[in-house]
Amino acid sequence: MKKTIFTLIILVLSLSIFAEMPAVQVIQEKGKIDSLTIEYIKAFDEARFIYTLPASLFDKGDTIEKINQRVSLFTRENGYYFYNRIADDIIRYDNTKNLATYTATIKFK
């Protein structure tokens, strides 16, 4: 009995050591004052869109519009039919660097 349990534990540990994490493809698009980073995980059909710009220029409506345009383009480029947001969008302000960051997490289908 002890040998069987020990063998199972060794088997599970050896499989967990060699398990691979899904690859994250990072796409960066930089403008003059803003940047958009897309962290795309193809294995899960998910992407995180991170839009950064100076906090003084941040407008939530414009930011959502830009993210939606880029998500629609990304959906067509990668052969998906539609998408939905799987988490609430996150807005963060960095007062030391005077930046605003808007993050949207998207699931493609």
Domain ranges of the chain: 23-108
Global pTM value: 0.80
> Is 33 in a helix, a strand, or coil?
coil
C-beta separation of 74 from 47 below 8 A: yes
Architecture of domain 23-108: 2-Layer Sandwich (3.30)
Can you tell me the distance from the alpha carbon of 68 to that of 74, in angstroms, rounded to the nearest whole number?
A: 10
Mean pLDDT by 10 residues, the chain (109 residues): 81 69 88 96 95 96 96 95 95 95 97
Q: From 70, 58, 69, select the one nearest 34 (Cα to Cα).
A: 58
Tokens at 29, concatenated:
């698009």
